[in-house]
Chain A
Amino acid sequence: GENVEQHPSTLSVQEGDSAVIKCTYSDSASNYFPWYKQELGKGPQLIIDIRSNVGEKKDQRIAVTLNKTAKHFSLHITETQPEDSAVYFCAAITSGTYKYIFGTGTRLKVLA
């Protein structure tokens, strides 16, 4: 069946450095790719998303890139801060269907 692979599972960076999390999806019909941030003791919250007709989207320190040919997309966080420490989930969705597949999560630690 369809799946979404997410790497790395854990990532530690120094404050101020950049962090990159990558996801690969299998269903070529997937056309919407959100990213969620889950802080300790809370539910996942949408932080940025991208649709398949766009190659890159940026919102302040976070950006997402999409390579449809290779079927992978990435989350980029620049100038990381301690409050960026959380678990991040990617997801791949096929619009108009029930298919909403989450990646396995990446635990990001930003070291002060």
Chain B
Amino acid sequence: DTAVSQTPKYLVTQMGNDKSIKCEQNLGHDTMYWYKQDSKKFLKIMFSYNNKELIINETVPNRFSPKSPDKAHLNLHINSLELGDSAVYFCASSLWDRSKFFGPGTRLTVL
């Protein structure tokens, strides 16, 4: 059974386009996250939602907009994609401040 799933796994797109990444968790967790992992493998928190409420919004360009339709889903929409947005994006979930469960990642390549 998949715990945290993300789609798509790979996303290749042109600069200036708008794209979305979807995330779903079936663990009954109340908190979901988006992380960005760069080429050096640093994991950087972008957003966190607790019970559909935004609780963490790190210094991220406002081209990035998360949306949580319910506790089990947290989607990430990116407008006007730039070269520097190329990275692996991980969705994760947890029970509040407990251990996190990560999805398999979405590798975004902006050409």
Say what secondary structure dominates the interface of chain A: strand
Q: Smallest Cβ distance from B67 to chain A, in angstroms? A: 20
Provided the pairs A43-B105, A98-B56 are in contact, do residues A89 and B99 lie with their beta carbons within 8 angstroms? no
List B contacts of A49 (CB < 8 A). 99
In this complex, what residue of B is CB-closest to A43? Answer: B102
Interface bracket on B: 10 to 19
Say whether B34 faces chain A, with CB atoms less than 8 Å apart: no
A42 touches B104 (CB 8 A): yes
**Interface size class of chain A, counting residues whose CB lies under 8 Å from the partner chain:** 20 to 34
Contact with B along A24-53 (1 / 0, CB 8 A): 000000001010101001111110010000
Q: Which positions in A face B, CB cutoff 8 Å? A: 32, 34, 36, 38, 41-46, 49, 87, 89, 93-98, 100, 102, 104-105, 107
> Which B residues fall within an 8 A CB radius of A?
4, 40-43, 45, 48, 55-56, 90, 92, 97, 99-105
